[in-house]
């Protein structure tokens, strides 16, 4: 794939992966992106997952013909991007690794070698001339590891953005960018909104024509759309009006309350209702919806004096990712000592700018007529 006259894509698609990072469902696979900048000197931007080392080197050789790379720039040390450093360095014994000081420490930890005789350490404001292309390095700590750098090529106005602006899905999959980029962002980067904001502030000073992330498609049109979404996500603002509902139900009674609430919300004109059954649905999708919409309903049963395990994991996932600036409604069920609403509220008490609905729906084993009145009151609050 030709990115510009001098920059080529040499990454790979992974359609054999079961779970990304051992937890995220990727039904359309995953892309591990790598690029090569061809100038008087040649720089390769990152490597790929260990399973695709030979394919990656083959792609590089096809892009270069008889020429030999001078540098391997390592922006991020997660193994899906760094596993083939040693393979590259053995294939090209005169090449030099360019990365941050912290990355070289991690290289030693991961692979037993920090290439002390064949390396250039770079930091904020460092540059590397390839000829007409000059690479400018910016630090991006905790986006989403502490060693991360991103790279700006001032000739072609390309930002190599590491994991920022990435998404799930292989490059040969036809799918909406925002959906899988949002799930990727809040699943993996969501905790680090402040750090993402700092990187976006740095990016604003650059004249960017193309964004080349380490996952997902190269972005070269309507860049304002992607930058605006990242601003919204990283500042935890509401992206879309609507209500997300996440529930767990053991014998179907709590689910009945959720069905009734959905009916009431729609009757009262709620623009969008997104429902996730935490016992069967992808939790990462539920997390995505919780951050996308301005209002969230949590519905679950009391379980061993606590809440049902999948709901406990879900609420923990929200808190871990700095969930904030939202309105939350609660539905609880308990046959003899319902404490689910109290427990969920306590779990969320450290989250900033959270408003709880006054109306709490409490089921005693099954739904009764008085519960319908509670649900109507809850729906009215959520639709105000």
- Tokens representing 286 are 């539920």
The model carries a pTM of 0.93
3-state SS of 330-349? EEEECCCCCCHHHHHHHHCC
| Phi-psi region at 7: left, alpha or beta (left = phi > 0; alpha = psi -120 to 50) | beta
Q: Same domain for 155 and 284?
A: no
Query: Is 196 inside a domain boundary?
Result: yes
Residue in 155, 152, 103 with CA at minimum distance from that of residue 126: 152
Q: Quickly state the pLDDT bin for 384 (edges 50, 70, 90).
A: confident
Query: What pLDDT does residue 1 have?
Result: 86
Residue 340 and residue 198 share a domain: no
Arithmetic mean of pLDDT over the chain:
97
Q: Do 212 and 303 share a domain, yes or no?
A: no
Q: Which helix (H) or strand (E) holds 148?
A: none
Q: Which residues contact 117 (CB under 8 A, 6 or more apart)?
A: none
pLDDT band, residue 293 (cuts 50/70/90): very high
| H/E stretch holding 54 | helix 53-64
Residues 305 and 333 in one domain: yes
Q: What are the pLDDT digits (tens) for 6-57? A: 999 999 999 999 899 999 999 999 999 999 999 999 999 999 999 999 999 9
Tell me, yes or no, whether 220 lies in a domain: yes
Q: Are 206 and 276 within one domain?
A: no
- Measured CA to CA, the distance from residue 222 to residue 204 in angstroms comes to 15
State whether 58 and 144 are in the same domain: yes
Q: What is the CATH number of the domain that holds 248?
A: 3.40.50.360
Tokens found for residue 318: 């929200």
The pLDDT of residue 277 is above 90: yes
- Asked if 182 and 44 count as a contact pair (C-beta separation under 8 A), the reply is no
The pLDDT tens digits for 133-186 are 999 999 999 999 999 999 999 999 999 999 999 999 999 998 999 999 999 999
Query: Are residues 173 and 308 located together in one domain of the fold?
Result: no
Residue whose structure tokens are 């090209």:
92
Contact 9, 176 (CB under 8 A): no
Dihedral sign for Cα atoms in the order 86, 92, 95, 98? negative
Residue 117: left (phi > 0), alpha (psi -120 to 50), or beta?
Answer: alpha
The structural domain count of the chain equals 2
Domain range for 128: 7-234
Same domain, 148 and 109: yes
Which residues, 6 or more positions from 375, have their beta carbon under 8 angstroms from its beta carbon? Answer: 257, 260, 261, 264, 331, 361
Tokens linked to 82: 């760094």
């Amino acid at each position: 794939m030709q990115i510009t006259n001098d920059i080529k894509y040499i990454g790979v698609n992974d359609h054999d992966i079961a779970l990304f990072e051992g937890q995220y469902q990727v039904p359309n696979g995953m892309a591990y992106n790598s690029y090569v900048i061809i100038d008087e000197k040649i720089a390769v931007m990152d490597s790929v997952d260990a399973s695709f080392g030979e394919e990656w080197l083959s792609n590089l050789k096809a892009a270069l013909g008889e020429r030999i790379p001078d540098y391997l720039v390592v922006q991020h040390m997660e193994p899906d991007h760094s596993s083939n450093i040693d393979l590259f360095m053995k294939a090209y014994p005169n090449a030099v690794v360019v990365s941050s000081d912290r990355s070289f420490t991690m290289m030693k930890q991961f692979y037993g070698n920090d290439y002390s005789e064949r390396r250039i350490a770079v930091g904020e404001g460092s540059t590397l001339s390839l000829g007409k292309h000059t690479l400018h390095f910016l630090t991006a700590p905790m986006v989403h590891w502490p060693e991360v750098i991103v790279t700006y090529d001032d000739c072609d106005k390309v930002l190599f953005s590491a994991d920022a602006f990435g998404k799930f899905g292989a490059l040969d999959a036809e799918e909406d960018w925002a959906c899988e980029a949002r799930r990727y962002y809040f699943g993996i980067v969501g905790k680090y909104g402040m750090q993402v904001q700092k990187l976006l502030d740095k990016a604003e000073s650059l004249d960017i024509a193309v964004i080349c992330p380490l996952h997902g498609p190269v972005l070269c049109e309507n860049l304002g759309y992607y930058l605006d979404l990242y601003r919204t996500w990283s500042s935890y603002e509401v992206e879309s009006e609507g209500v997300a509902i996440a529930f767990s139900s053991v014998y179907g009674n709590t689910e009945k309350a959720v069905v009734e609430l959905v009916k009431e919300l729609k009757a009262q004109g709620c623009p969008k209702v997104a429902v996730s059954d935490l016992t069967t649905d992808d939790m990462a999708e539920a997390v995505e919806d919780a951050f996308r919409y301005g209002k969230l309903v949590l519905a679950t049963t009391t379980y061993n004096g606590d809440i049902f395990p999948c709901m406990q994991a879900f609420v923990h996932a929200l808190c871990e990712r700095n969930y904030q600036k939202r309105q939350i409604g609660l539905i609880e069920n308990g046959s003899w000592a319902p404490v689910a609403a109290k427990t969920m509220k306590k779990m969320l008490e450290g989250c900033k700018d959270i408003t709880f609905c006054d109306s709490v729906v409490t089921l005693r084993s099954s739904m009764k007529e008085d519960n319908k009145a509670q649900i109507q009151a809850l729906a009215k609050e959520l639709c105000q």
